[in-house]
Amino acid sequence: MPNPPAPQSKVPTVAIVGRPNVGKSALFNRLLNRRVAIVHAESGVTRDRIAATTDWQGRAVHLVDTGGLADPLGASLGSDPIRVGITEQAEQALSEAQAVLFVVDVTAGLQPMDQDVAARLHRHALPVFICANKCDNERQDEDAPIFSRLGFPFFPISALHNRGIDTLQEALLTALPNVTSASGESALPPLRVAVVGRVNAGKSSFINRLTGVSRMIVSEVPGTTRDAVEIPFTLGHGAAARPCLLVDTAGMRRVGKIDTAVERFSLMRGEAAVERADIVLHMIDATRGPGDQDKKIADLIHEHVRAGMLIVNKWDLMSEHTTQRQYTEALYRTVPFYRDTPIHFVSAASGYNVRRTIEAVAEMAARLDLRLSTPAINRAIVAATEHHAHPMTGGRRFKIYYATQVGNRPFKLAVFVNDPKRLQPDWREYLIKQLRQKFDLGGMPIVLSLRAHRSPEPSTATRADQPARNAKPARPIHRVRHAPGRPNARRVKRHAARRV
């Protein structure tokens, strides 16, 4: 199972709490100087804990945004799993924090809910700073002292207009342990692993099972997860340990079924997570099977040329008469793109095969930076060409002279050919499949960058189109050379004619 990263525990954590719709996510984004959390006028947009590490004056600070605490202290939350989850996530953030930013809305004044949140915070022996948000001008600053009744120091700020943020940061740094920036802690950048899929596929349950804690809110209500939540963890142990970020995303729905702006933002966050990921885990609900939206998700992964793995969740709910082989064959017929993609059948509820999945992620991560020798690549291309030659087009054949690796993530080959326009798409896919099988690159994208080694061969021979008389084109790598010392029949015949 993945392990929580050791360096992260040394960085002081600051939790951002408050009642709904006071600007917690806006302040979170402002302190990070980038847009991470979704900000919208709708109440209760943030549900899961959203965390990120930033640098303030050379010091590392770990910020955690939480959902709105709308329930009075000690009140029964009833049977609403989302409300229960939001409260549990906020309490967990407070238990891990070294300081708290308590956000209130100065335009709404002191509310009973603010007093309920303050009562919760008084139970924790933590330094608390009241952020009187939405003080967009000096006149509104005069309304902030009313929040001193809550028993904590207050700071008039405006997350939207960046007012009072510097003063708040300086006061907060004095209450935190001095830890230098974590930017140079690891020589390797964190590996980004995104988990994507349709709504209710079980992504959050899968991540909770992987991390071993209830990190994400799990509910049968579609669309429970809204933000793209990054969860740090470590692959491996000791010197081979690799820092990673596990990214949970909102369920992707068809654009025509999206009703609200929040859903559109969630979809955009999910697509951005795929674009930034090193490995994408596409999760499918086994009981529903792949649908049209899964095809679009597969196309999205293919479009961004990302390494992929297919996770079929809820396998424990499938009938005993359906085997994994039968399901895999049906899946390949529905989504042909996944024919060369590793497939793992899991159950996030019971934990079945989850450990093997994370081991497969580690194996794929080790192949991301694989470097292959040029001779090995060319031998593989020769073997593929001899097994199935490229068909003739216009009386001429597409020829490959040689190839060499020029990049990773994605795995990229520069292929020198006679005429790039002659390569047929079907034969390109055949060659990529042969290379993927030869070098055990299942799920890894392979990009062929075709480069003309000389001018394309003309279809109609004219004197102006002919290559220079002394030009010596390179031999294609699949052409068989004559054995050394063996005379060429045409050359012997030509010299004999000259002597006559």
Reported as a single tens digit per residue, the pLDDT across 89-106 is 778 888 888 999 999 999
pLDDT at 460: 41
pLDDT at 37: 53
Question: Is the model's pLDDT at 60 over the cut of 80?
Answer: yes
Question: Is the model's pLDDT at 293 over the cut of 60?
Answer: yes
Question: Is the model's pLDDT at 315 over the cut of 70?
Answer: yes
- Residue of 197, 212, 249 whose CA lies nearest to 358: 212
Map residue 149 onto helix, strand or coil. Answer: helix
Question: Is the model's pLDDT at 478 over the cut of 90?
Answer: no
- pLDDT confidence tier of residue 413, bands split at 50, 70 and 90: very high
Strand partners, 17: 102
- Give the homologous superfamily in CATH for domain 191-367: P-loop containing nucleotide triphosphate hydrolases (3.40.50.300)
Cβ neighbours of residue 106 under 8 Å, at least 6 residues apart? 132, 133, 134, 135, 140, 143, 144, 147, 156
- Statement: 7-184 belongs to CATH 3.40.50.300: yes
pLDDT at 152: 92
Cβ neighbours of residue 93 under 8 Å, at least 6 residues apart? 13, 15, 17, 49, 64, 66
Question: Is the model's pLDDT at 366 over the cut of 90?
Answer: no
- Residue of 205, 179, 195, 262 whose CA lies nearest to 230: 195
pLDDT at 45: 46
What mean pLDDT is predicted for residues 303-314? 91
Torsion sign, CA atoms 136, 138, 143, 146: positive
pLDDT at 141: 86
Torsion sign, CA atoms 135, 140, 142, 147: negative
> What does the alpha-carbon distance between residue 214 and residue 11 come to, in Å, rounded to a whole number?
22
pLDDT at 245: 82
Strand partners, 450: 415
pLDDT at 97: 87
- pLDDT confidence tier of residue 480, bands split at 50, 70 and 90: very low
Q: Which CATH architecture has domain 370-500?
A: 2-Layer Sandwich (3.30)
CATH 3.40.50.300 positions along the chain are: 7-184, 191-367
> What does the alpha-carbon distance between residue 25 and residue 226 come to, in Å, rounded to a whole number?
13
